[in-house]
Amino acid sequence: MESMQNFLPFTIQYSIDPVTFEPKDEIIKRTLSSMKGAFLDQAAAEQILAKEDPLIVEVFMAPVPAGPGFLMANINVVYPGKVGNEFYMTKGHIHDDPIHAPEIYITLRGTGKLVLQTLEGKFHMADMQPGAINYIPAPWAHRCVNCGDEPLVYLGIFPANTQRDYSFDSSNFKKRIVAQDGQVVAVDNTRAK
């Protein structure tokens, strides 16, 4: 593991339209086929996949070691679209360390909802739009939903040694964010445990 003494200061240069991010390490791409189970309407997902496998989420990670004492910075993009009436979103996850692993999201472009929930079932929803800085306390699972018609782009900052647990997913989140009569609405998740 890289030592703190040898790690040099650096600057990330990014743009949001289109998204560029340098220097970067990994780019994570999630297409519908890789996260189909996150959406309620499986028939609608199959219909889309019969024609194409759209890119839903893209994450540009900074080249930071995953050790203690380092801060990760990443730019996340949730593309606009829906599966049935449910907006494109991230898979959602919870951090492994409920004390030392909070996260901050800074929205750079687009509009959306940040869906938050604890293991005990406390629920919270926050707006994401340029100007919003969302603070996510360590024990809260989180998912971002793009409710607009342009990419939702946000910067995430969190301890680099954080493990993201994706087993907190669409079977846990109490609400789904859908379009109803042209409105953005949070409805009960009928698949929640």
**Which of these ranges, 30-38, 97-105, 171-179, 181-189, lies near Fe ion under the rule CB under 5 A?**
97-105
Task: Decide whether 85 or 118 has the Cβ nearer to Fe ion.
Answer: 118
CB atoms closer than 10 angstroms to residue 117: 23
Beta carbon of residue 149, minimum distance to Fe ion (angstroms, whole number)? 25
**Which of these ranges, 64-72, 101-109, 119-127, 179-187, lies near Fe ion under the rule CB under 5 A?**
101-109
By CB under 5 A, residue 169 contacts Fe ion: no
Rounded Cα distance, 82 and 86, in Å: 5
Restricting to residues 103-122, name those near Fe ion by CB under 5 A: 103
**What φ, ψ does residue 50 adopt, rounded to 5°?**
-65, -25
- By the 10 Å C-beta count (0-12 exposed, 13-18 middle, 19+ buried), 17 is classed as exposed
**Which of these ranges, 73-81, 100-108, 110-118, 144-152, lies near Fe ion under the rule CB under 5 A?**
100-108
CB atoms closer than 10 angstroms to residue 42: 12
Beta carbon of residue 71, minimum distance to Fe ion (angstroms, whole number)? 13
Size of the site for Fe ion (CB under 5 A): 1
**Which of these ranges, 1-9, 71-79, 80-88, 96-104, lies near Fe ion under the rule CB under 5 A?**
96-104
Element (H, E) at 42: helix 42-49
By CB under 5 A, residue 86 contacts Fe ion: no
Provide the sign of the torsion angle of the four alpha carbons 160, 166, 169, 174, taken in this order.
negative
Beta carbon of residue 13, minimum distance to Fe ion (angstroms, whole number)? 23
**Nearest CA to 148 among 69, 65, 88?**
88
Task: Decide whether 45 or 142 has the Cβ nearer to Fe ion.
Answer: 142
Q: Which residues of this protein are in contact with Fe ion, per CB under 5 A? A: 103
